[in-house]
């Protein structure tokens, strides 16, 4: 409704002031004149609490929310406020209040069609009957997207206290209903012969975080999910070996499985594989359609993203990549690779490099990967906004090498250091087909599945510094038509 305190009408010869209440009445009448389909869509965008409150607007609105609510999101923090470290009794009282509120709402929503259902609260096996009742409600209501986020931020939940969601419960509803399942801090019981459970026949998306898994459980999950296309495994730390065998899987993300030593990929439809964690042996047994690869290694190892791409991918004949994302942590060691023995990625058109090392070393690895990708069209660099104050050392700069297909370059986290300018100078001298170079001082962070978040901290380059760098880089450009932008 209207935010202004008053509105002045000057349409006639006499000016008049309409007060705020009159504006709200006018606006309410106009909104109420909209068709039910439009109003239902508007209500569907509200939280459950906001949707219920619309019932007080008028007689027409009284029951409209009941046919419009399809997204049930029960988030304890949003509903009851943040929980500060306090007594056990305080936590119990808050949990009891959350359970009471959820139960009260679900009583109002019997026989509803639910599209998305989410529980976000630090609950465990002690609340198993409540959680199972809520899950059953969602499944019987024909839910398509189910989220159980039971993570306790203040402390980790012991394995024997995790809520165990039985697969038979997930199979009790409408057939081919559940498409997306996201579980955090619980376990799945799929090894028992639950009556009526024939597998997740419609599941296409599965995300498991802090979920207790074994190799056998992963194998059984994949065998039950015959249509699964998207799988994310995050911080399921007890896994030692991971074999992904699925003919339908297209996207796989493996994120910080700290005990993992080996991954074997046998997924004939896999298009995108994203790995974050300590470098492990990755065996590409059957991935003929893999075109997008992300390697974000943490810690120091004889392999990292760049060295793995240059040495291990050729072993499995993974040279048909179209997009390669490398988070580089390995320092420059000389000699590294004779250029003539390196593989060639003839299909690679997009390269994303994130620095985790001094940028003189990052320069070497970036240029090396550019050279082995002769048809590269887009380059994205994520630089460190903090200057490396360690003792500088000289390294051999890569020789010039013309990149005749590189058209678009984006640089994030630019702070104007000499090492960063050296990288851009090399690009401008050698990218003879360059069309656009965009430089942004703000760092960006990768969220997974192609999504990024820009850091909102203040990153400042003075107008004079921007102008100096702009003129310096403009002199290095070999292509007069290239657009150079510094934000």
Tokens of 307: 């060295």
Reference 23, options 43, 2, 42; nearest CA is: 2
Q: What is the pLDDT of residues 254-264, one digit of tens each?
A: 999 989 999 99
pLDDT higher than threshold 70 for residue 73: yes
Domains and CATH numbers, the chain: 33-69 (1.20.1280), 291-386+398-487 (no CATH)
Q: What pLDDT was estimated at residue 162? A: 87
Q: What pLDDT was estimated at residue 27? A: 46
Q: What pLDDT was estimated at residue 46? A: 64
Least confident range of 43-57, 149-163, 319-333, 367-381: 43-57
97 or 13, which is more confident = 97
Residue indicated by tokens 């995050």 = 234
Q: What pLDDT was estimated at residue 8? A: 28
Maximum distance among all alpha carbons in the chain?
86
2 or 435, which is more confident = 435
pLDDT higher than threshold 90 for residue 268: yes
Residue indicated by tokens 């008028």 = 58
Q: What is the pLDDT of residues 76-123, one digit of tens each?
A: 887 777 655 455 557 788 889 999 989 988 887 777 778 889 999 999
Q: What pLDDT was estimated at residue 407? A: 95
Reference 430, options 386, 383, 472, 477; nearest CA is: 477
Q: What is the pLDDT of residues 393-414, one digit of tens each?
A: 555 566 778 899 999 999 998 8
Confidence class for position 368, pLDDT limits 50, 70, 90: confident
pLDDT higher than threshold 60 for residue 335: no
pLDDT higher than threshold 80 for residue 392: no
Distance separating alpha carbons of residues 466 and 425, to the nearest angstrom: 15
Q: What pLDDT was estimated at residue 187? A: 83
407 or 34, which is more confident = 407
Return the top range by mean pLDDT from 14-28, 225-239, 292-306, 331-345.
225-239
Q: What pLDDT was estimated at residue 390? A: 54
Reference 218, options 236, 204, 192, 196; nearest CA is: 236
Q: What pLDDT was estimated at residue 357? A: 66
Give CB contacts under 8 A, 24+ apart, made by 236-245: 236/208, 236/209, 236/210, 236/211, 236/212, 238/212, 238/213, 238/214, 239/213, 239/214, 239/215, 240/215, 241/215, 242/215, 242/218, 243/215, 243/218, 243/219, 244/218, 244/270, 245/219
357 or 469, which is more confident = 469
Confidence class for position 36, pLDDT limits 50, 70, 90: low
Q: What sign has the CA pseudo-torsion 398, 402, 406, 411?
A: positive
pLDDT higher than threshold 60 for residue 195: no
Mean pLDDT, the chain, as a whole number?
79
pLDDT higher than threshold 50 for residue 159: yes
Q: What pLDDT was estimated at residue 384? A: 77
Q: What pLDDT was estimated at residue 173? A: 53
Kindly state the average pLDDT of the residues 60-87: 68
Kindly state the average pLDDT of the residues 292-312: 82
pLDDT higher than threshold 50 for residue 6: no
Length of the chain: 487
Kindly state the average pLDDT of the residues 45-71: 63
Q: What pLDDT was estimated at residue 13? A: 38
Q: What pLDDT was estimated at residue 4? A: 32
The answer to whether 414 touches 384, Cβ cutoff 8 Å, is no
The answer to whether 120 touches 153, Cβ cutoff 8 Å, is no
Distance separating alpha carbons of residues 262 and 240, to the nearest angstrom: 7
């Amino acid at each position: 409704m209207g935010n202004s305190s008053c509105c002045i009408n000057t349409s006639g010869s006499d000016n008049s002031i309409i007060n705020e209440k009159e504006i709200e009445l006018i606006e309410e009448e106009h909104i109420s004149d909209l068709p039910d389909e439009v109003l239902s869509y508007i209500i569907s965008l509200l939280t459950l609490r906001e949707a219920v409150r619309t019932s007080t607007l008028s007689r027409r609105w009284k029951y409209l929310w009941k046919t419009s609510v399809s997204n049930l999101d029960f988030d304890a923090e949003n509903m009851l406020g943040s929980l500060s470290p306090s007594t056990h009794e305080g936590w119990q009282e808050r949990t009891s209040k959350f359970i009471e509120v959820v139960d009260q709402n679900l009583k109002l929503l019997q026989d509803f069609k639910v599209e998305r259902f989410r529980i976000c609260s630090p609950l465990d096996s002690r609340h198993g009957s409540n959680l199972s009742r809520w899950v059953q409600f969602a499944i019987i209501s024909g839910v398509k997207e189910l989220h159980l986020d039971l993570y306790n931020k203040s402390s980790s939940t012991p394995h024997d206290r995790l809520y165990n969601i039985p697969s038979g419960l997930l199979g009790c509803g409408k057939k081919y209903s559940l498409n997306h399942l996201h579980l955090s801090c619980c376990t799945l019981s799929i090894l028992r012969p639950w009556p009526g459970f024939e597998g997740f026949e419609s599941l296409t998306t599965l995300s498991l975080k802090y979920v207790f898994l074994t190799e056998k459980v992963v194998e059984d999950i994949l065998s039950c999910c015959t249509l699964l296309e998207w799988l994310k495994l995050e911080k399921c730390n007890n896994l030692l070996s991971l074999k992904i065998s699925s003919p339908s899987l297209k996207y796989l993300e493996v994120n910080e499985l700290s005990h993992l030593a080996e991954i074997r990929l046998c997924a004939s439809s896999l298009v995108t594989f994203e790995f974050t964690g300590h470098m492990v042996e990755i065996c590409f047994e059957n991935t003929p359609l893999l075109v997008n690869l992300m390697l974000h290694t943490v810690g120091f190892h004889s392999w990292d993203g760049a060295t793995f791409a240059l040495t291990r991918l050729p072993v499995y004949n993974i040279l048909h990549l179209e997009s390669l994302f490398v988070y580089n942590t390995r320092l420059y060691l000389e000699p590294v690779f004779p250029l003539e023995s390196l593989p060639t990625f003839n299909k690679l058109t997009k390269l994303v490099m994130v620095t985790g090392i001094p940028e003189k070393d990052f320069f070497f690895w970036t240029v090396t990967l550019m050279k082995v990708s002769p048809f590269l069209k887009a380059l994205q660099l994520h630089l460190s906004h903090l200057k490396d104050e360690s003792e500088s050392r000289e390294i051999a700069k890569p020789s010039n090498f013309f990149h005749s297909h590189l058209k678009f370059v984006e640089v994030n986290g630019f702070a104007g250091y000499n090492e960063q300018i050296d990288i851009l100078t090399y690009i401008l001298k050698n990218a003879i087909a360059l069309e656009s170079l965009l430089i942004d001082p703000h760092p960006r962070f990768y969220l997974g599945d192609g999504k990024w978040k820009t850091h909102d901290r203040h990153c400042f380059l003075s107008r004079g510094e921007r102008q100096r760098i702009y003129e310096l880089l403009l002199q290095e450009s070999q292509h007069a038509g290239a657009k150079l932008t510094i934000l």
